[in-house]
Structure formats: structure tokens, C-alpha cells
Amino acid sequence: MKTINDFNFENKKALIRVDFNVPLNEGFEVTDTTRIEAAKPTIIKVLEDGGSAVLMSHLGRPKGVQDEFSLQHIAATVSNILGVQVTFVSDCVGPEAEAAVDALNPGEVLLLENLRFYSEETQGDVGFAEKLSKLGDIYINDAFGTAHRAHASTTIVAQFFSGSKCFGSLLAKEIESIDKVLSSGQKPVTAVLGGSKVSSKITIIENILDKVDHLIIGGGMTYTFVKAQGGQIGDSICEDDKQELALEILKKAEAKGVKIHLPVDVLGADDFNNNANTKVVDVTAIPEGWQGLDAGPNTISNFHDVIMQSKTILWNGPLGVFEMENFAKGTIALGHSIAEATEKGAFSLVGGGDSVAAVKQFGFGDKVSYVSTGGGAMLESLEGKSLPGIEAIKS
């Protein structure tokens, strides 16, 4: 796996695919700079070597050229974060972009206009990718969030940089973290899968059954498993057509020696509402008119014990409806458990959608080993799929 550390960028122009798809407010100010900060180490390494950086990204989903999606809006923020003046060029291919690249001196940074102003970008057009390839000597992909897309700037462009392409430090870290969880991690390995539906997690479950020692299942998925085993789940969320599948998963896990941990008690509510009446109930005896919306105290304690024995932990999906304050306790407790295990030396990766939001919201971001920056890309990795953006660098 070639990373930026395998290259010296002195007098080289690095064409870097970053993920600057950041949220903007109505005044076009960046409201969350995480992604820009995450790309900083790679850019700084290039500049410190004595090279220059040509940054390319998409922003939002423009239909053709739309000023509201211009990357010009974020140029000043990128300058501030990097501590280097950033020049913006109002095209991402063609004579204007090429002239701006030609004028670039070592230590300087150029930001190209939104790649998605051209539909060729998402189409993975080879001609467009070739035009992009003229804008640098070495190609670096540091955009994990789009690594699962075979777009021109994330995948296709790599074919024009034989021997001179590599992963940025952010993307390398993502790959290493996934690898630690799925193949090289210290045992026992535990995966916590929460969230709402079995159907959206089934491919992940099937893939990780070969890799983990413990599988904790929580959140809304719980009830499909409990009902399939004959429990009374009241009005809890359930995918009736996935009950067979749930039983199959349990059987497969047993055959593979994977220990499955399901909630034993839950916080029941008489409505899907933060102000609903609540009571702790046995997960197999939820009364009609009630639904399980969070993990119960015994469940929290059981999950804590499993987490504390684990040396490698993957967390994907909340244990309850954490968006409602009264049903966030299980998710917060799990965050505490994982933070404690991490402090004691376990490796912990939080990845994919809502668990990342929960970890950030409840302040666990710096208490786990790694928080993935890519939702869809992380989910596809956990499903065992190879990502085109990653393969393109390796080939």
C-alpha cells in the first residue's frame, strides 16, 4: 500500500482528491470544518517536502454550474485551517485550470472549482479524468467518503498516474482501521451493530461473522430477532419478513463459534415520542401498546462486560432512538464502555452513519481509537466489498 510517506514531493505538483463536501449555512460559511482539518496532514506533508498542492473536491449535488455549490465559498476557510494562502480557480479542467497549475510554486496551494459542475465526474468519464490528470505530477487520494464511487476524480484518474499515485494519510488511516477490525485485530474482536433495520445491516453481519468473536446486536434490529425466537415485542419496530433470516444468522453464528449478545431488557415507551410514558420491560415480554426504544439497565451492564473483555471493537449503529434525549441512555452508556476499554488498550473503530453522529454528539470522538469519516464507504468496507477508489491506487 503506497502512501504519501513513500514519496518526496520536492518540486512536484500533487493532485489531491480531498473531501471538502462540507456543510454551509445561508451566508455560505462552513459550519463544520472536520473534513478540511482531516485533509490537512496530507497537504502539509506535500508542502513541507517542497511541493505544491492542487486540491480537487465535490461540494453537494449541483446540476451543472450553480454558484451556491462553488468551492470558492470555502477557500478562505481552507486558507485559515492550513495556515497557507489558497488560490482558487473557477474551473477544474481546461486552459484556465492548467494555467493556474503552471503558475504554482513550491509551498503553494490551488483549489479547483467543484468537480461535479461537470456530469462527467460522477459518470467516471475517461476523457474528463485525463484532463484532470494534466493538473499534477503525482495523484493522491485522501477522500475516503467517496472511495466507494468509481468517479473520474476518485478512481478513473488514477490510471494516468502509473507508479506515481498513493493514499493520503487520512485514507491510509481508514484502510488500516478497517483492516485492524476485519483481519489483523487482537482478539477477542467484538462488533456492536445497532440501528433500525436488520435489512440494512444483513450484508455486514454476514461478512463479519467470520471475523468476530462477539456480536452485540442492539437498537431496532433487536425486535426482529426476539420475535423470531418467539418473544412478545409489543409495538416495537420489526421486519416480519426478516425473521427467517434472523434465525439463520443465529444458527450460523453458533456454527462459527461467534457469541451473539442481544438485549435482555429494554426501555419501553407507550408512544414514539420523547415525552411518552416509559418503563423497563423484559425484551421478550413487551406489552401491546408499548415499544422498545432503548436498552435497559441489565442490557447495558451485560454489554459493558463484553466490551471490557474485548481487545478490538467495531461500533456501527445506536442502541436506541438516541435523537430523543429520554432514549439515548443505552447509546451513551455504550460510548462510555468503549471509551473505557480503549483507555485500557483496546482498539476501537466507530464507523458508518448514525453511530458517528452519536459519538460526536455525546463527546466520545477523542476517546475511541478512530472515528471513520466515510458513511457509505465504511459500510461497504464492512460488507467486505472492495472500494474502487482504493483498488485504483493499489493496481
Count of all residues that appear for the chain in the document: 395
Contacting ligand AMP (CB under 6 A), which of 292, 374, 388, 389? 292
Contacting ligand AMP (CB under 6 A), which of 2, 40, 197, 367? 197
Catalytic residue among 197, 259, 360, 367: 197
Which of residues 51 and 194 has its CB atom nearest to ligand AMP in the complex?
A: 194
Catalytic residue among 2, 107, 259, 353: 353
Binding positions for ligand AMP, 202-241, rule CB under 6 A: 219-220, 237
Contacting ligand AMP (CB under 6 A), which of 60, 353, 376, 384? 353
Query: Does residue 196 bind ligand AMP (CB under 6 A)?
Result: yes
Query: Does residue 321 bind ligand AMP (CB under 6 A)?
Result: yes
Within 168-284, strands assigned E span 189-193, 214-217, 232-233, 259-261, 265-269, 278-282
Which of residues 182 and 267 has its CB atom nearest to ligand AMP in the complex?
A: 267
Buried-exposed string 331-363: b where 16+ CB fall within 10 A, e elsewhere: bbbbbebbbebbeeebbbbbbbbbbbebbebbe
Query: Does residue 51 bind ligand AMP (CB under 6 A)?
Result: no
What mask of x and - would describe binding to ligand AMP in positions 156 to 185, judged by CB under 6 A? Answer: ------------------------------
Set of cell numbers at residue 136 = 499534477
Query: Does residue 354 bind ligand AMP (CB under 6 A)?
Result: yes
Report how far residue 216's alpha carbon sits from residue 232's, in angstroms, rounded to the nearest whole number.
20
Active site residue 116: no
Report how far residue 233's alpha carbon sits from residue 248's, in angstroms, rounded to the nearest whole number.
20
Active site residue 197: yes
**140 neighbors 167 (Cβ within 8 angstroms):** yes
CA 8 to chain centre: 29
Coil vs helix vs strand at 71: coil
What mask of x and - would describe binding to ligand AMP in positions 234 to 273, judged by CB under 6 A? Answer: ---x------------------------------------
Report how far residue 159's alpha carbon sits from residue 139's, in angstroms, rounded to the nearest whole number.
10
Active site residue 35: yes
Contacting ligand AMP (CB under 6 A), which of 136, 195, 335, 388? 195
Contacting ligand AMP (CB under 6 A), which of 34, 159, 200, 207? 200
**189 neighbors 20 (Cβ within 8 angstroms):** no
The one-letter code for the residue type at 328 is A
With contacts defined by CB under 6 A, name the span among 45-53, 150-158, 191-199, 380-388 that binds ligand AMP.
191-199
Cα angle, residue 299 at apex, residues 294 and 300 outer, rounded to 5° = 80
The one-letter code for the residue type at 21 is N
Q: Around 190, how many Cα atoms within 13 Å sit in the side-chain half-sphere?
A: 27
Report how far residue 112's alpha carbon sits from residue 121's, in angstroms, rounded to the nearest whole number.
13
Catalytic residue among 60, 375, 376, 384: 376
Contacting ligand AMP (CB under 6 A), which of 53, 56, 281, 293? 293
By CB under 6 A, name the binding residues for ligand AMP: 195-197, 200, 219-220, 237, 292-293, 317-318, 320-321, 323, 353-354
Q: Could you give the residue numbers annotated as active site? A: 35, 197, 353, 376
